DNA sequence: TTTAGGG
DNA sequence: CCCTAAA
């Protein structure tokens, strides 16, 4: 009953299952239990069989799915079925409700169910379980147990695991990583351990489990490693002492097999008995053990960010003062997220393939880059900054740099430099977020195209609609952004006169926009005069579709289709 | 809340 | 992009 210190390994070499079971690794997780196999060897096949045996009646899925396995054809059929895959089993024992996910009840429930699957259910349960059940909230447990017993009574004859499945409450799936992989736990449980476990009655599974399980944890994935955790482990855990682990595991598995070998070849050995449970537990222990260890080792981004986030010396009081706090907050959060996440994930996916259209005249050489991979970023950035209105330079320089580096470098640099760039961005973004302005994200050609399509479809001024339909995926780009961009496009197209000649000249720098885009902008501009219509409103807007481009565009196509269909 | 428009 | 006024 005194399980001692929370160490995983007990003195006698066994595993402190309790801890493993009770400790939620990941807060919660589905009780998926899957048995992974990494090798196609017959031994593994046996493993599966064994495991299923161990689960006994609890695991119907395995029994069913791996029927042939259990029927003794393991060696032949197994490898194919199981190789590197996993058996997903809907375990009945996982079916206990939330009530079971707490402390003693849970563990006991498992045990009970386990027994329930065996012939000795009645005896075992009545003798051991009932007595040991002291918690007050065990009504559920009892009822479950009762049900199980009923089921068994009714179906004892056929000994069909599957029969109990339907009667036992909904079940969760448990995953169990039975990899020989080095990634598996650093020797928390060795062969010897397993052996001892099943050899020493004092350390029976049940004992261990019921031993002081009052922590009130929710062992959601207790007994079997949760899928999530495990999968993470698969990747995150690099074999530190992998080599040493391989061996123990193989042996462990072998021993487990051995135990099961004497079981009837019939698919159901109704009596897993304590040994198997113990072994299973041991195996599980190995799996379960992983998460905790791994989790500790990942300082990663967050800390980097925090360290790099030196609360901006000056916060934009302007914004704080003027805008509502709510809005600011949401924006702040959003932006913040964007900086950390979007800049790394979203950009590559969405924008990396496309180049921004704004190309300073300083580098006309690149402007015609069709697909746009302009590569001398520094040049671009500098040129852009220099081009900016003098008064704006002081304020925009950093913005531009920050904004442009991610994208353009994404386009141009290879993965080798990626990390460095990310760091750079991350380092700067916090300041930007809280202190200055929204991340300046250049418009990609695809975005511009979307905008144009949107305008052609909905007309100018329906920015929010366009945003909703065309930019739903890009969290940035508010309707205001769309509007601004459209305005800029008009400027770039020379449609919107800035009034000053200088402006026009500067517009030339934007000309690198694909002609098709500029043309479409012009066309749309004639159709949809920019709000407040400086230009004569062209009254004649065709019936259903506003699109008026001369080239065949998607919207044209749609319009034509529509007209055809209509008539 | 969305748009328009100035900065 | 930001901000604000207006609707």
Task: Say whether the CB atom of A396 is under 7 angstroms from strand C.
Answer: no
Q: What is the pLDDT of residue A12?
A: 42
Q: What is the DSSP string of A474-537?
A: -SS--HHHHHHHHHHHHHHHT-S--SSHHHHHHHHHHTTS-HHHHHHHHHHHHHS--TTTSSPP
Q: What is the pLDDT of residue A511?
A: 56
Alpha carbon A298 to chain centroid, angstroms: 17
pLDDT single digits (tens) A425-469: 333 444 444 445 566 788 888 888 888 888 888 888 889 989 888
Q: What is the pLDDT of residue A531?
A: 62
Q: What is the pLDDT of residue A560?
A: 59
Q: Give the tokens for residue A85.
A: 């895959």
Instruction: Give A33's strand partners.
Output: A89
Task: Say whether the CB atom of A238 is under 7 angstroms from strand C.
Answer: no
Task: Say whether the CB atom of A481 is under 7 angstroms from strand C.
Answer: yes
Domains and CATH numbers, chain A: 17-296 (no CATH), 317-435 (no CATH), 445-566 (1.10.246.220)
Instruction: Give A172's strand partners.
Output: A91
Characterise A217 by phi-psi region: left (phi > 0), alpha (psi -120 to 50), beta (else).
beta
Nucleotide nearest to A480 (CA to C1'): B3
Nucleotide nearest to A531 (CA to C1'): B4
DSSP A175: -
Alpha carbon A207 to chain centroid, angstroms: 37
Task: Say whether the CB atom of A396 is under 7 angstroms from strand B.
Answer: no
- Give the C-alpha separation, A454 to A8, whole Å: 61
Q: Is A176 helix (H, G, I), strand (E, B) or coil?
A: strand
- Chain A span 288-317 residues with beta carbon within 7 Å of strand C: 316
- Give the C-alpha separation, A210 to A108, whole Å: 7
Task: Say whether the CB atom of A251 is under 7 angstroms from strand C.
Answer: no
Nucleotide nearest to A484 (CA to C1'): C1
Task: Say whether the CB atom of A403 is under 7 angstroms from strand B.
Answer: no
| Sequence-ordered alpha helix ranges (H) in A217-297 | 227-236, 242-261, 273-296
- Give the C-alpha separation, A334 to A345, whole Å: 15
> Chain C: nucleotides under 7 Å from a protein CB?
1-4
Residue nearest to nucleotide B2 (CA to C1'): A464
Closest CA to A59 of A51, A69, A68: A51
Task: Say whether the CB atom of A438 is under 7 angstroms from strand C.
Answer: yes
The label of the residue with tokens 């952004």 reads A481
- Give the C-alpha separation, A538 to A410, whole Å: 42
Instruction: Give A34's strand partners.
Output: A88
Instruction: Give A87's strand partners.
Output: A35
Q: How many Å apart are A480 CA and B2 C1'? A: 9
Q: How many Å apart are A448 CA and B6 C1'? A: 23
- Residue A122 backbone phi and psi in degrees, to 5: -55, -50
The label of the residue with tokens 């934007």 reads A510
CA distances from A61 to A58, A437, A560 (A): 9, 56, 55
Task: Say whether the CB atom of A484 is under 7 angstroms from strand C.
Answer: yes
- Chain A span 514-543 residues with beta carbon within 7 Å of strand B: 530-532
Closest CA to A331 of A195, A436, A184, A454: A436
Nucleotide nearest to A479 (CA to C1'): B2
Exposure string of A22-57, with b = 16+ CB inside 10 Å and e = fewer, is bbbbbeebebbbbbbbbbebebbbbbbbbbbbbbbb
The kind and range of the H/E element at A88 are strand A86-91
Residue nearest to nucleotide B7 (CA to C1'): A392
Q: Judging by DSSP bridges, how do beta strands A172-173 and A33-36 pair with one another?
A: unpaired
Nucleotide nearest to A465 (CA to C1'): B2
Task: Say whether the CB atom of A418 is under 7 angstroms from strand B.
Answer: no
Q: What is the pLDDT of residue A501?
A: 47
Q: How many Å apart are A439 CA and C1 C1'? A: 8
pLDDT single digits (tens) A513-530: 777 888 888 878 777 776
Residue nearest to nucleotide B4 (CA to C1'): A531
Q: Is residue A178 a contact partner of residue A283, using CB atoms and an 8 Å limit?
A: yes
Task: Say whether the CB atom of A532 is under 7 angstroms from strand C.
Answer: no
- Give the C-alpha separation, A198 to A275, whole Å: 5
Q: How many Å apart are A253 CA and C7 C1'? A: 74
Task: Say whether the CB atom of A498 is under 7 angstroms from strand B.
Answer: no
Task: Say whether the CB atom of A558 is under 7 angstroms from strand B.
Answer: no
Task: Say whether the CB atom of A55 is under 7 angstroms from strand B.
Answer: no
Task: Say whether the CB atom of A476 is under 7 angstroms from strand C.
Answer: yes
Q: What is the pLDDT of residue A482?
A: 92
> Chain B: nucleotides under 7 Å from a protein CB?
1-7
- Chain A span 187-206 residues with beta carbon within 7 Å of strand B: none
- Residue A413 backbone phi and psi in degrees, to 5: -90, 155
Q: What is the pLDDT of residue A443?
A: 87
Q: How many Å apart are A519 CA and C5 C1'? A: 33
Q: What is the pLDDT of residue A441?
A: 83
Q: What is the pLDDT of residue A167?
A: 34
Angle formed at CA A188 by CA A185 and CA A192, multiple of 5 degrees: 120
- Give the C-alpha separation, A307 to A427, whole Å: 9
- Give the C-alpha separation, A112 to A128, whole Å: 9
Nucleotide nearest to A477 (CA to C1'): C1
- Give the C-alpha separation, A411 to A370, whole Å: 13
CA distances from A115 to A109, A127, A146, A268, A277 (A): 10, 11, 12, 13, 10
- In what side-by-side order are the strands of the sheet with A86-91? A33-36, A86-91, A172-173
Nucleotide nearest to A460 (CA to C1'): B3
Exposure string of A162-201, with b = 16+ CB inside 10 Å and e = fewer, is bbbbebbeebbbbbbbbbbbbbbbbbbbbbebbbbbbeee
Sequence-distant (6+) residues with CB within 8 A of A558 are A457, A545, A547
pLDDT per residue, tens digit, chain A (567 aa), is 333 333 333 344 333 333 333 333 333 333 333 233 333 333 333 333 333 323 333 332 333 333 333 333 333 333 333 323 233 333 333 333 333 333 333 333 333 333 333 333 333 333 333 333 333 333 344 334 334 344 334 343 333 333 333 333 333 332 332 333 333 333 333 233 333 333 333 333 333 333 333 333 333 333 332 333 333 333 333 333 333 333 334 333 333 343 333 333 333 333 434 444 344 434 343 433 333 333 444 444 443 343 333 333 333 333 333 333 333 333 333 333 333 333 333 333 333 333 444 433 333 333 333 333 333 333 333 333 333 333 333 343 333 333 333 333 333 333 333 333 333 333 344 444 444 556 678 888 888 888 888 888 888 888 998 988 888 888 888 899 999 998 888 888 777 665 544 444 544 555 567 778 888 888 787 777 766 544 443 444 333 444 444 445 566 666 657 766 655
Q: Give the tokens for residue A191.
A: 């062969």
């Amino acid at each position: 009953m005194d399980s001692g210190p929370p160490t995983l390994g007990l003195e006698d070499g066994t595993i402190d299952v309790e801890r493993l079971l009770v400790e939620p690794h990941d807060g919660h997780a589905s009780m998926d239990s899957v048995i992974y196999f990494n090798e196609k060897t017959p031994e593994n096949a046996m493993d599966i069989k064994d495991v299923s045996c161990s689960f006994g009646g609890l695991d119907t899925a395995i029994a069913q799915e791996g029927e042939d396995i259990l029927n003794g054809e393991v060696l032949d059929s197994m490898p194919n079925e199981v190789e590197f895959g996993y058996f997903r089993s809907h375990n009945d024992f996982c079916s206990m409700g939330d009530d079971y996910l707490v402390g003693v009840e849970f563990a006991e429930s498992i045990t009970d169910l386990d027994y329930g699957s065996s012939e000795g259910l009645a005896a075992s349960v009545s003798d051991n379980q009932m007595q040991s059940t002291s918690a007050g909230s065990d009504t559920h447990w009892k009822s479950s147990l009762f049900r199980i017993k009923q089921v068994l009574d009714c179906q004892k004859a056929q000994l069909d695991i599957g029969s109990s499945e339907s009667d036992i409450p909904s079940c969760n799936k448990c995953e169990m990583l039975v990899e020989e992989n080095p990634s598996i736990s650093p020797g928390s449980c060795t062969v010897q351990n397993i052996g001892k476990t099943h050899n020493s009655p004092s350390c029976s599974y049940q004992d261990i489990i019921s031993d002081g399980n009052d922590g009130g944890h929710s062992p959601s994935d207790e007994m079997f490693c949760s899928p999530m955790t495990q999968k993470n482990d698969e990747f995150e855990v690099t074999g530190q002492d992998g080599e040493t682990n391989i061996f123990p595991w193989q042996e462990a598995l072998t021993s487990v097999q051995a135990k099961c070998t004497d079981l009837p070849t019939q698919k159901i050995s109704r009596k897993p008995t304590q040994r198997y449970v113990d072994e299973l537990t041991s195996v599980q222990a190995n799996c379960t053990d992983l998460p905790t260890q791994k989790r500790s080792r990942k300082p990663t981004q967050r800390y980097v960010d925090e360290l790099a986030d030196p609360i901006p010396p000056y916060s934009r009081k302007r914004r704080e003062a003027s805008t509502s706090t709510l809005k600011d907050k949401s924006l702040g959060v959003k932006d913040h997220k964007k900086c950390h996440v979007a800049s790394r994930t979203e950009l590559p996916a969405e924008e990396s393939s496309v180049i921004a259209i704004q190309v300073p005249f300083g580098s006309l050489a690149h402007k015609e880059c069709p697909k746009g991979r302009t590569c001398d970023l520094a040049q671009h950035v500098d040129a852009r900054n220099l081009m900016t209105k003098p008064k704006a330079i002081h304020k925009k320089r950093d913005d531009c740099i920050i904004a442009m580096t991610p994208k353009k470098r994404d386009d141009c640099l290879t993965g080798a430099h990626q990390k460095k760039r990310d760091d750079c961005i991350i380092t700067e973004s916090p300041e930007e977020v809280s202190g200055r302005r929204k991340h300046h994200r250049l418009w990609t050609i695809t975005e511009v195209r979307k905008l144009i399509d949107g305008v052609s479809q909905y007309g100018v001024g329906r920015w929010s609609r366009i945003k909703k339909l065309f930019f739903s995926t890009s969290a940035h780009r508010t309707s205001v952004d769309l509007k601004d961009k459209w305005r800029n496009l008009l400027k770039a197209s020379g449609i919107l006169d800035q009034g000053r000649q200088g402006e026009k000249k500067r517009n030339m720098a934007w000309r690198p926009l694909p002609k098709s885009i500029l043309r479409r902008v012009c066309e749309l501009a004639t159709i949809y005069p920019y709000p407040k219509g400086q230009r004569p409103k062209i009254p004649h807007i065709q019936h259903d579709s506003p699109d008026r481009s001369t080239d065949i565009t998607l919207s044209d196509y749609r319009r034509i289709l529509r007209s055809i269909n209509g008539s």
